Structure 1
């Protein structure tokens, strides 16, 4: 069923998307402001269920690309992702019928909404990552046979380029990453042009409405003086994600972070308040692995998010600071992200981690 987003929905959606962003995907706050301004002007945004998309419709994924820290320094004007879409349409010789998020996490939950508000196109309620990942080939669209290219890339100066690597999504990522670095570290893209039938077969369904629901659950739990972490765990139990739990509560005692090769990479260490345990998080834009010493607590593609210990407000990797009181919250991924084909593309070894994936629900936190 189609959903018309209201202005009051956006903070909840942004909060839920930041949770699903696993520390990355960019801070949704900037996108929230841009999209809110569009609704205040009287424009509308409609979410449509994947099952409502015509099989022969042209659907295009919309997103920003680059290091999330750079977005804070180079705030978008809002035209960039629309320009990328129009350039891709020109290249394809066909207008898009709908937009779909590349990923449902962070700022990239907001970019497609901005494009929808400015073009009048509907947004498909789903995405290709089920969270946020740092590289363009790491999408279920590509895992299950959709070519990411041609891709159109636009920067804040409205410079646009189109890259076409055919079915080679790894090369698409490599060229697009190099272009984005030369554009100043961040760009706005239109990619993975596909049919409605391909969307139904390859997308992770209803993740945007899930982000809205999770953000609302956090807010309502706080308003009702309930534990928002218990509310999150309960909410996730009847979704395709199923499992959510706290791995550790404590304070941030160290953060090492650097921008390199178009990514934000680093580690964060979080210790219990009595200092008896310390968990180290490793991230590449998004959190990839959580370890307590040599003991594995959670690993990509399962989701690892850092939330404020009291409010459950998600904290992005670029916002992590010494002394913050936090809880590390892990969420299991949907089955479509756990197949051998999917793990080959965005499992631990795809990030250079020398270990195999173990489902988070099978790992002990004690």
Structure 2
């Protein structure tokens, strides 16, 4: 199979930063996953990234990820072998060798965790994922829209426990896996959504691993050239700046395995005199400006530090931070009726229909 790029330990810095930008505030702290990936790559060798079209139709592809509240993940670090335990147990369950590894989301820790398995197993990692961003629940992937079952699934924790799930729907997988994750201490490592190469070619959001790497590289090079890092990210993602302000209030709590809350900002510079509110459930889901809803899921909402361009996650929001909010177009699959049913504002309890954000104005 032709390799798109070979990822070495030092490349993970850029990928982690790019994943945090696409993670819309969620997906867990990419720093933890980056360290795990770098350690695995140094031990086992670099990871080869391949295009999904390089896969034979009969190949077996398996995504891996960490599940739980981001606030828990930063304090309850994996031991290191949970991911491979889940991966190998699922392989045994499937009764055949797995041919490639896949990211479940292009955000936060789960944009870097799959590199651990790819390095340790010597398997290629697909250039893509199941979201093009991050979402809080397991069924919220493009795979669901293509009829892929999340099970059989294997969950492993840091104590050596493992659970195998077989469920009637991906929504039930989320409910049962979430309950198990809470009992496992708030975070668990998973292998799930086994699919053929033929299905992966239809279902995967393509190019997101490369995009993460390029976002991190662009940010690093822009800063080195003393240029505007936020403008560089806006240009790369066809994004739009929707607010610049200072965080005045943060309400954040861990409930039911999620980090839920609201962040409120007062405007600075051109936004002075205006207000901004963000609602999140692991990820930023809805933004209001001056009391009017501005943008909702499935579009991406991301916060960046204005001077460095570094992304800021929901679990690292602190009073007084000066931040720039971006609106970023989502993958077109999410704007379909099936996509809106999975991740639209009404699913998360907001009393409003999805209205596409006007990126042209």
Instruction: Report the TM range for the smaller structure's normalisation.
Output: over 0.9
TM-score normalized with structure 1 length: 0.95
CA shift for structure 1 position 8: 2.6
Distance of 1:40 and 1:122 partners within structure 2: 16
> The residue matched to 1:288 in structure 2 has which SS?
strand
1:271 aligns with 2:266: yes
1:50 aligns with 2:45: no
| Counterpart mapping for 1:159-308 below 5 A | 159-166=161-168, 168-236=169-237, 243-273=238-268, 275-308=272-305
Match for residue 146 of structure 1 among 145, 148, 160: 148
> The residue matched to 1:61 in structure 2 has which SS?
strand
Distance of 2:54 and 2:286 partners within structure 1: 36
CA shift for structure 1 position 335: 1.2
Distance of 2:341 and 2:57 partners within structure 1: 28
286-295 or 129-138: bigger deviation: 286-295
CA shift for structure 1 position 362: 5.0
RMSD between superposed Cα atoms in Å: 1.3
Distance of 1:363 and 1:210 partners within structure 2: 22
CA shift for structure 1 position 36: 1.2
Mapped contact 1:48–1:123 kept (Cα < 8 A): yes
> The residue matched to 2:148 in structure 1 has which SS?
coil
Mapped contact 2:44–2:120 kept (Cα < 8 A): no
1:353 aligns with 2:354: no
Mapped contact 1:46–1:123 kept (Cα < 8 A): yes
| 5+ long unaligned stretches in structure 1 | 237-242
CA shift for structure 1 position 354: 1.2
Mapped contact 2:10–2:38 kept (Cα < 8 A): no
| Counterpart mapping for 1:26-65 below 5 A | 26-41=28-43, 43-65=45-67
Distance of 1:300 and 1:180 partners within structure 2: 25
Distance of 1:337 and 1:6 partners within structure 2: 32
Match for residue 102 of structure 2 among 100, 103, 110: 100
| Counterpart mapping for 1:16-35 below 5 A | 16-35=18-37
Distance of 2:262 and 2:195 partners within structure 1: 36
Match for residue 70 of structure 1 among 65, 72, 86: 72
Mapped contact 1:297–1:363 kept (Cα < 8 A): no
Distance of 2:113 and 2:164 partners within structure 1: 19
Distance of 2:43 and 2:98 partners within structure 1: 23
Name the counterpart of 1:239: none
CA shift for structure 1 position 84: 0.7
Distance of 1:27 and 1:330 partners within structure 2: 21
Distance of 2:113 and 2:58 partners within structure 1: 24
Distance of 1:325 and 1:65 partners within structure 2: 30
Distance of 1:321 and 1:151 partners within structure 2: 36
Q: Residue deviations 1:86-124, cap 9 Å, x none? A: 111111212211110010100001110011111111111
| Counterpart mapping for 1:78-89 below 5 A | 78-89=80-91
Mapped contact 1:58–1:98 kept (Cα < 8 A): yes
Distance of 1:120 and 1:127 partners within structure 2: 19
Name the counterpart of 2:318: 321
| 5+ long unaligned stretches in structure 2 | none
Name the counterpart of 1:240: none
TM-score normalized with structure 2 length: 0.96
Distance of 2:100 and 2:42 partners within structure 1: 22
Mapped contact 1:15–1:313 kept (Cα < 8 A): yes
